[in-house]
Structure 1
Amino acid sequence: MNTQIQVPAGYRSDAQGRLVHEAMIKPIDWERDRLVQQLVGRASKLNSQLADFKAAAFGDVRAFIEMSFEEYGAKVGGKKGNVTLLSFDGRYKLQIAVQDSISFDERLQAARSLIDECLAEWIEGARPEVVTLVNDAFRTDTKGEIRTARVLALRRLEIADERWQRAMTAIGEACQVTSSKEYLRIYERIGDTDQYRPVSLDIASIALPEA
């Protein structure tokens, strides 16, 4: 359990928890601390505002969808999917995208075993690109996780071998949706073109104004 250190008057606690008398703190260290504290305070307020905006935006869009459904006497039900809303003049576009997180259960290992049987038998005549695709599909990323998209891409290969077909069935049945996440994206049309640029809400991707 973390305990809050009581800092006596006239002292400050440094990054290692040591008490330092204020008279021993250099002016540049005071100024650095002031700058960091000020910017973090402003960032915290912006973070709170973004959270409020996100909650309100999702709520407003869902309410609008329900209103639109009611116009046709339909009820909103089942899993929520992707939706795109355009302003009347088409200048702005708002998207809510649903992204599923997919993992594989133990049946993926059964699929790999069947695929390995195929490759071992085809080793002489197997197309190099097929072997490369298989090896890449089952290679883990930097986090030690299987690349889902590459494994699922194997199912697009037209291979008639019965073992391969069973392996593809096992891959499909091994897929488990572990969670779903909704994303809000806002776009503005570029001039009179049919292209849109994102209105970024990510501080890292926002361009600084020109001097």
Structure 2
Amino acid sequence: MQAATETRATGKVLVGDKAYMPDAKGNLVPVEMVKATEMLEDETVRTILGYATDLSAQIGRFKEHTFNDLGAFEALLAQEYGATKGGAKGNKTFMTFDGMKMVKVQVADTIDFGAQLQIAKSLIDECLTEWSADSRPEIRAIVTRAFNTDKEGQINRAAIFMLLRLDIADERWQRAMAAIRDAMRVVGSKIYVRCYERDRLDADWRAVTIDLAKA
């Protein structure tokens, strides 16, 4: 039996001098039996993935070099001048001398909610029950959005934060908001690097787009 040789770039497998393509079930299909449209689709996807893989690796190297460069700069500041960059949460801004280019490092916390959230929901329900049915419909709508879970079973965090911004004097409402704050916990954080530039000092900053969806 002749040994099979796979050519990853084309997705074809050579057995002797005959070419095959493995299908989704692992079967080797002779190339001449593969439809022209399926062959073209296969080639198109492989071409795109080839570029995407290279670009992903390049972005990974860019991220590593960026943090290394910024880290080296901050180490120099600390060593030579005893100075540091950034605020209490680690957000930092670096800018060129002419004020035309900027790099921002931002730390975004991932927030989850503990069991106290159910206590808050009970207190809020008490308030809504006592308020007349036709009063404060906008608040009822926010509460509904806040505690309705999505497909992943996650609550609407944006709506929860909207509840915290409402100015309501009811003592139970205040206790509910305190319970929400107690329920909040940071379960992780991500660091983002964003680059900006502008053509003149009075112009708006323009993001240098790396996100494929926004390019």
User: TM-score higher than 0.5 here?
Assistant: yes
Structure 2 letter corresponding to 1:46: L
CA contact (8 A) 2:109 2:190 kept: yes
Measured on the aligned residues, the alpha-carbon RMSD in Å equals: 2.8
1:110 pairs, out of 116, 119, 123, with 119
Q: Distance in 1 between matches of 2:36 and 2:101?
A: 49
Q: What corresponds to 1:140 in structure 2?
A: 149
The answer as to 2:70 corresponding to 1:44 is: no
Q: CA deviation at 1:118?
A: 1.3
3-state SS of paired residue (1:158): coil
Find runs of 4+ consecutive structure 1 residues off by over 6 angstroms: 75-79
Does 1:54 pair with 2:88?
no
Give deviations 1:120-154, integer Å, cap 9, x for gaps. Answer: 11226843332233223223334331111221221
For normalisation by structure 1, the TM-score amounts to: 0.81
Match of 1:16 in 2: 25
**Percent of aligned positions that are identical:** 44
1:44-68 CA-to-partner distances (Å, cap 9, x unmatched) read: 1121111011111122213322322
Report SS of the residue matched to 2:186. Answer: strand
Contact preservation (8 Å) 2:143, 2:163: yes
- Map residues 52-131 of structure 1 onto 2, 5 A cutoff: 52-73=61-82, 81-123=90-132, 126-131=135-140
Structure showing greater relative contact order (alpha-carbon pairs closer than 8 Å, 6 or more residues apart): 1
1:12 positional shift: 2.2
* CA-CA distance at 1:78 after TM superposition: 10
Pairwise CA distance, 1:37: 2.6
- Secondary structure of 1:143's partner? coil
Map 1:116-195 → 2, pairs under 5 A: 116-123=125-132, 126-195=135-204
Residue type of the partner of 2:132?
A: I
Helix, strand or coil at the partner of 1:46? helix
Gaps of 5+ in 1: 1-5, 207-211
- The 3-state SS of whatever aligns with 2:203 is coil
Amino acid at match of 1:112: K
Residue aligned with 1:99, SS: strand
Deviation, structure 1 residue 192? 4.9
User: Please, which runs of 5 or more residues in structure 2 have no aligned partner?
Assistant: 1-5, 7-12
For the 8 Å contact 2:93–2:102, the answer to whether it is kept is yes
**Which segment drifts farther, 138-147 or 66-75?**
66-75
Residue 3 of structure 1 corresponds to which residue in structure 2?
A: none
Aligned residue identity for 2:142: L
Q: 1:14 to 1:79 in 2, by over 3 A?
A: farther
Deviates more, 1:145-154 or 1:120-129: 120-129
Contact persistence 2:86–2:93 (CA under 8 A):
no
